[in-house]
Amino acid sequence: MTAKQASATRTMPERVEIVAAPPLALALCWRGAELVRLDLRRAEAPQLPADASPEACAVHAALARLAAGEPAEFPRLPLAWGQLAPFTRTVLETLYGSVGFGATVTYGELARLAGQPGKARAVGQAMARNPWPLVVPCHRVLGAGGGLTGYTNPHGLELKALLLRLEGALTTTAQGA
């Protein structure tokens, strides 16, 4: 088995739970007791499986608050931090613990917060590898001038702007970028 195949096996989910509160949905992808990935999607209808885990119920409640424009802190979840490369883990853990609801940070500021000054581009690459969008809030990371840049979700910058608007964090400067 190659290193790439071994890595894919470690992140392949055993179980998936989808929760939705329009306009957003999250697929919680579990491997054992850890979340290996969250897939952020657009949603047309509410969804919460009858047999949803307590974590999925808590995520659904936070999504519903966010969709209603209310402050929404996502619950602490059993994220599979060990699957990440050390630099990516450091940057994502810093973002997770430092940039709360309604706040934003630039790639350069996040690099400094993570103890990696001057590594804004590497921070951008770490954001692109974030397996837990929304919960580890990579949408809160902006370009140097406060502009919307670099959101790798299939819905792109439009979804990043929506998330920031829902949090009340989209400034005129960022919106015009």
Q: Alpha-carbon distance 148 to 101, whole Å? A: 17
- 124 CB-near residues (< 8 Å, 6+ apart): 107, 141, 149, 150
Nearest Cα neighbor of 175 from 165, 166, 167, 103 is: 165
Write down the catalytic residue from 138, 141, 159, 169: 138
- Catalytic residue at 57? no
3-state secondary structure (DSSP) of residue 131: coil
Q: Is the Cβ–Cβ distance between 48 and 57 less than 8 Å? A: yes
3-state secondary structure (DSSP) of residue 99: coil
31: DSSP letter: E
Q: Which residues form the catalytic set?
A: 138
